[in-house]
Amino acid sequence: MVRIVMASSLLALLDDIATMLDDVSVAAKKTAGVLGDDLALNAQQVTGLSAERELPVVWAVAKGSLKNKAILVPAALAISYLLPVAIIPLLMFGGAFLCFEGVEKLVHKLFPDKGEKEHEAQLRAAAKDTSVDLVALEKDRIKGAVRTDFILSAEIIAITLGVVAERTFATQAGVLVAIALLMTVGVYGLVAGIVKLDDLGLKLSLKSGTKAIGRAILFVAPWLMKLLSVAGTVAMFLVGGGILVHGIPWLHHKIEELTADRGAVIETVGSSALEGGVGVIAGILALIVVKLLGGLWRTMRPAKA
């Protein structure tokens, strides 16, 4: 009898672990848009720094990211336990914010702001100027990167919480902690590898037997950064639009009707394209609302004496 109880307990434990791993996999897929954007943004934070300072800066931002998640995971679990009805609205807000960020990135790309260009030029010049306090420059970059990471981490945690909303509290905690650690190690490990690609390419290009490989890496490295940025933006619309569509039942059913009985490929690609389209429209509307509210706030704010 004892053996039977132990065997059934072991099977139950294995089933819980399998369920948790499956939830982690689903959550990782749904947070792909944030991951791509996180990679591109954090890799850009070390551009212009000297080669020997790139990895220390990445490590400092990674530690800040872990602190962010140490705040966000307990907060998410508290919301799930005390106010579970808030999960769907938070998830919808996260999806809308993803779409807003995607549209904002496109607008800045198509209509670059002169002030931002000047700021970036000043940062590059400061990194090369020996008279500039590089420690202060690094601290400013690290603070900015950690602030950005907090927003992106909040989106990741909100999306993950939506995936495991119907699970037990223990499963929610396990999946949230797993995703938090997986995303932090994955993002900053990849960022560290990406920022050192040019150094690797340079070393290989100077050796007789690996010159071609080194030159190829040097050629590919800047394009990889651009690809990450584009892929991250596209994924933001797909993931954000998907969240919004699944949160609006009639819209979800309508997309299913439009793509049903058209073959597996058409159904998958078509539904993703339509969800991405919803994401673009939602992002444009969110940007308009934010600009209107910003203009209203500036109008209502009392003038300084």
> Does the residue 181 lie in any domain?
yes
> Does the residue 106 lie in any domain?
yes
Cα separation of 20 and 72, whole Å? Answer: 20
> Does the residue 305 lie in any domain?
no
> Does the residue 136 lie in any domain?
yes
pLDDT digits over 222-264, tens only?
787 777 777 777 877 887 888 888 888 888 888 888 887 777 7
Q: Percent of the chain beyond pLDDT 90?
A: 5
Give the model's pLDDT for residue 26: 58
> Does the residue 32 lie in any domain?
yes
Cα separation of 124 and 206, whole Å? Answer: 26
User: What's the whole-number average pLDDT of the chain?
Assistant: 75
Q: How confident is the model at residue 9 (pLDDT cuts 50, 70, 90)?
A: very low
* Domains identified in the chain, total number: 1
Domain extent for 162: 2-300
> Does the residue 184 lie in any domain?
yes
Work out the number of other CB atoms within 10 angstroms of the CB of residue 189: 12
What does the block give as tokens for 121?
């030029």
> Does the residue 118 lie in any domain?
yes
> Does the residue 150 lie in any domain?
yes
Angle between helices 87-110 and 264-300 (to 10 degrees): 80
What does the block give as tokens for 190?
């990849």
Contact criterion met (CB below 8 Å) for 237 and 99: yes
Give which of 266, 190, 280 is closest to 235, Cα–Cα: 280
Give the model's pLDDT for residue 131: 47
Phi-psi region of 47 (alpha: psi -120 to 50; beta: other; left: phi over 0): beta
